[in-house]
Every structure is written in C-alpha cells, then in structure tokens.
A and B are shown apart, each in its own frame.
Chain A
Amino acid sequence: MSGVSLTEQVVREPIPERPTGVGVPGTPGLIDASAFSFWYGKKQALYEITMGIQARSITAFIGPSGCGKSTFLRSINRLNELIPGTRHEGKIFLDDADIYARGTDVVALRQRTGMVFQRWNCFPKSIYENVAFGPRINGETDRAKLDEVVEGALRRAALWDEVKDRLRESAIGLSGGQQQRLCIARALANDPEVLLMDEPCSALDPIATQRIEELLVELKRELTIVIVTHNMQQAARVSDRTAFFFMGRLIEIGNTAELFTSPREAQTEAYITGRFG
C-alpha cells in the first residue's frame, strides 16, 4: 500500500470529475478511484486509474480484451487481493471511506458491493438457499425474515413469478438467463449499494440479455451499477456513462452519448469505430 496521503495525490493528479451523484447529494454508492494501480506479481495491470462513478446510474467499462476492466471491477470489492502475489497502490473510495484503508471490514465491503460474474455461478442448492446465502452468513436466522428477504430479492431481480412455485428445487435446473437473474437476486439479498457486473450477458441469448438490460435500468433507481461489456451496443443502450480502458489505463470517461458520438481521444474513437480491439 502506498504511504502517500490522499491530499498529496489529489494535488498531483486531481480527480477530474468529482461525481455529484444523480439526485440527492450524499446518495450512497459513490465510488472514487484515485491513482489506483494494480499488479499481478511483476505484471502491472492497472496504471493510476482515477475516476468517479456516479451513484444511481449505470457506468459501462469498455475496452479490448486484457485491458484491465475486470481487474478494476474486482478491485472495487477487493476480490482480486485473494490472488496470491497481487498488490496495489492508490485508493478507491466508497462513500468517502477508503476501502483499502487499514482496518476496513472487507466482509462488510463485499456485502455492500454485490457482484455478478460472466458465467452464472449459482450454488448447487435450492433457489431459496441461493438467495438466502448472503443473509444467512450475515447471521439472519429468523425464518419469516428470510422468506421476506428472499421474496424481495427475487422480485427485484424480476424472477419471482417464474420461480415462486419451485423455490425448493435446485437452481441448476433453471435456464441460463434465469440463473443469471438468480445470481443478481442473490447479490440483491444483501441489499448492496453497488452492483458490479462482469460481462453478465456475454453467455446469454438476445432475449435473456434484453431482460437483464431492462432489469438494470430498473435497478439503477436504487443502486450504483458498474457493468463490464464487450458489446458496444449494450453499453450504448443501458449505460449513462462509459469508461474506455486501454492497456491498463483509463483513456476516457464521459456521458455515454457523448463518448460514442464525439470521443475526445483518438484511441477511443478507433476502438468504438471498430478499427482495433
């Protein structure tokens, strides 16, 4: 961890757009990265990423394969630090608290930042137990309360009507799109402020993809959503802001419409017009 204090870094490289949040100031779910770098062993994967992510909106990460989108996403819930030999410098703030500060409760952090993976990874348990996993490890044992949380999460993930009669059946019997929405429900059961999604639709057919996209637009009213995608149309369709990564660096971040119509950087333009990547 760097010994540099935040003030020095801000002086050296000021955060360009301190996010204001959409709506009420102080909305939970604001993410700020400040000169965040990340290494896998000797290999540096991220170079001084500085960006603000607005609350209650959808931010898309785009960029060619291997440019560090997943690495940055997985730094926001500190999942990457479980890989041996990794290290980072710089800071990431979630609601004004440095998540890498000494003494940070990582378990609490991960409960506040739900994550949905590229390949749906439901547990081979019942639908109910999948959703109840988070609340249970949180110490919730009251059956009625659990029922309520599970139903609420499944409703928010637009899955309730499809599964309400088969909550006790194995999650593995669901279709891919349903399993991915179950994974979303599982994350929502923790009542997170942030939803981190790493290519959540890349293994789904267009109809399942569309359902998830509609769901995201619905969910952004309550959550900060960050979505990594290789699908430029998807980024254009659902996101409010888009960040373009290239070779471990953040090249450009801005309103999605602007970034796609009039990118500031030549590299961004080359990528979105399909000239490389």
Chain B
Amino acid sequence: MTPSNAAAPLPDSGQGTPNTAIDGQDLQGGGWSDRAYDALLTAFALCVPLLLVLLIVALTMAAWPALKQFGFGFLTSSDWDPAAEHFGAAPAIYGTIVSSVIALVIATPLAIGVAIFVAEFAPRWLRQPIGFLIDLLAAIPSVVYGLWGIFVLVPALRETVMPFLRDTLHLGATPFFSGPAYGPSMLAAGVVLAIMILPYISSVSREVLLAVPRSQREAALALGATRWEAIVGAVLPFARSGIIGGIILGLGRALGETMAVTMVIGNRHEIAASLFAPGYTIASLIANEFAEASGDMHLSALMAVGFVLFVITLLVNFVARWLVWQTSGGTRKVG
C-alpha cells in the first residue's frame, strides 16, 4: 500500500487566518457611500421592532383600565355586559382556542396528506395544477368564505353532518356532540377555518417535502424500504420541523381570522361544551362591538381582549420556535 493518494487533501487549519484578515479589511474599507447605505439599512431594520414595541405599548395602555378593574376575572368570567359595565372574556378566549384547535385537527392531516400526494405520488404534470388550486384557496377573500359558510356549510352541517355525528355515530353520548343542531356553531367556525388554513399548511409542507434531498429517500429505499416506508421513515422526519412551521403558520391565521368566523360562529357569549352550540371568538367580538362601543370601559375591555389575543399568538409562536428547535437541533436526544 502506497501512502500516495489522490483523495481530498487534509483541511489546512492555518488557512483560516488570511481569510479573516481579508474580511476585516472589507468591513473597514469602502467609501462613505457604503457606510451611508449601511446606516440606512440598519435604520430600516430597527424600524420594525420599534413599531412592534410601540404597538404593544399602545395596546397595553388602552387595555389597562379594563385589566385593572377586572383583574384575573377578565379571563375567567363569562359575563360580558356592556350595559352593566361588566366584562369577562372567557367565552371569547375559549372560542378562539377551540375553533382554532378544531381547524387544526381537521386541516393538518388533510393538508399533509395533500402535500405528500403532490410531492411524492402525483405524476409530474398533475403537481403544478393541484398545487396551484390549493394555493388559490388562500386567495379567496375571507368574506366569501363567510358567505359560503352561511349558505352552504351551515345548512349542510345542520341537516346532515351534525345528525350523523350525533345519532349515527352515537357521538351524542359525549358532551361535545350533543344537543340541538343550530347550524351557526363552533363546529361551523372550525370547519371554515380548516378550509382557510389548509392551503398554508399544505403549501409549506409541500415545499419542505420537495426540498428533502434525494439522497435521504435513496438511503431509505436502498435499505429495502417501500416507497411508503421511505416517506414515513425518512422523508417526513427530515421535513418535520418545516411541517411544524407550516402548522403554526396555519394556527396563527386561524387565531386571528375574523370575518368568516363572525359570519358562522353564532356570536354568543357562552361557553358550551357542545361543538354544535354557538360561540364567540376574540376577533369576532372586537369586530362586532368596536364600532358601537358604549363608553370608555367597553372600549378598554375590547382593547384588553385584543391584548389577550396578542399574547396568545405570541405564546403560540414561542412554542413553535421551541418545537422547531427541538426537532431540528443537534442536541436532540432520540427515544
């Protein structure tokens, strides 16, 4: 065996030094135009966080009277009575979360299924059209979804789906699917939201799946995985953090969606276990009452629910970052 070898040379650790020197020179050198450009960009970049801070400050100040007066009870009380100047936002908070969760439960498997189909199974010529049609769902105005909800979805739920869930599947035995089928309901809001967020989850997932390197697929296939096993065992795990990102994006949309939800949720200040019953969300509460808010405390209470929504979305985003970090980080310990 000869030591002579045409393979890649050993990385030379000494080579880092000249590179750094060149970089340093680049930063120091350059004319005043470079520096002006630099300063301008920095200013632009700082504008965005500044705006965010101002927004938080303004919102907090406006919400402060209500938060101070009702304290923790603002989050737990179900009593929203502008005439008596008593405000409790529990039903709206509950409705915001529940309708979004319903939407996620329905949309996530569908969206990921569609993404897997488009990225892995659809013939090449079908990929573009399907992707385009799904993306088009995101372009439909919210109010159109609301109209569709009122005229198509709500009657269909009332006549067919709700009786089917309650009686045929005997889910009526649980509190969640019992009681009369009104039509406008938490379920209707959840379903509309599901359709609205589906394109977000699905597009992100599709892009992420398509970006999984071919070598990962081939590694699994060469080990004797079937196509499906390669997807479940190699492609999806590789894409996991990206897909979670897509789901969170969808959740963010669902939490803040206003128009379509307002049109189908029934707008009632009440926490009902049954998904067939009407409910409320923070966004629809604000939209419904802001224009005719009676008095300062009412206005402040609306600001306060807005503040709560803001906090919820912030939390969701932090959890999302943490999840993405968890699933992609090198520090991960696997089962």
Chain B residues with CB below 8 A from A114, complex form: 222-223
Are A233 and B238 interface neighbours, CB within 8 A? no
Tell me, yes or no, whether A115 is within 8 Å of chain B by CB.
Answer: yes
Q: Let me know if B237 and A209 touch, CB within 8 A.
A: no
Q: Which one of A121, A172, A231 contacts B7 once the chains associate, using CB atoms below 8 Å?
A: A231
CB contacts (< 8 Å) of B220 on chain A: these are 123, 133, 137
Complex alpha-carbon distance, A137 and B233, angstroms: 9
Chain B residues lying within 8 Å of A183, measured Cβ to Cβ, are 219
- List residues of A (168-186) whose CB comes within 8 Å of B's CBs: 168-170, 172-173, 183, 186
If A110-B222, A124-B238, A205-B9 touch, whether A119 touches B215 (CB-CB below 8 Å) is yes
Partner of A107, one of B3, B6, B10, B224: B224
State A232–B5 Cα separation when bound (angstroms): 9
**Residues in A whose Cβ lies below 8 Å from that of B10:** 205-207
User: Does B49 have its Cβ within 8 Å of any Cβ on chain A?
Assistant: no
**Residues A172 and B5 in contact, CB atoms below 8 Å apart:** no
One digit per residue, 1 when the CB lies within 8 angstroms of any chain B CB and 0 when it does not, for chain A 147-172 equals: 00000000000000000000011101
A141 proximal to B (CB < 8 A): no
Inter-chain contacts of B219 with A (CB < 8 A): 117, 121-123, 183, 186
Count residues of B near A (Cβ-Cβ below 8 Å).
34
Contact with B along A95-107 (1 / 0, CB 8 A): 0000000000001
Closest chain A residue to B333, Cβ basis: A168
A-B pair count, CB < 8 Å, reads 113
Is A201 interfacial (CB 8 A cutoff)?
yes
A170 and B223 contact, CB distance less than 8 A: no
Partner of A134, one of B2, B224, B226: B224
Q: Which residues of B3-51 have CB atoms within 8 Å of chain A's CB atoms?
A: 3-11
A–B complex contacts, Cβ < 8 Å, 18 sampled: A79-B218, A84-B124, A110-B223, A111-B223, A115-B222, A121-B213, A125-B334, A126-B333, A128-B334, A134-B223, A137-B220, A168-B334, A202-B8, A205-B7, A206-B3, A231-B6, A233-B2, A237-B1
Chain B residues engaging chain A, CB cutoff 8 angstroms: 1-11, 124, 213, 215-216, 218-226, 229, 233-234, 237-238, 328, 330, 332-334
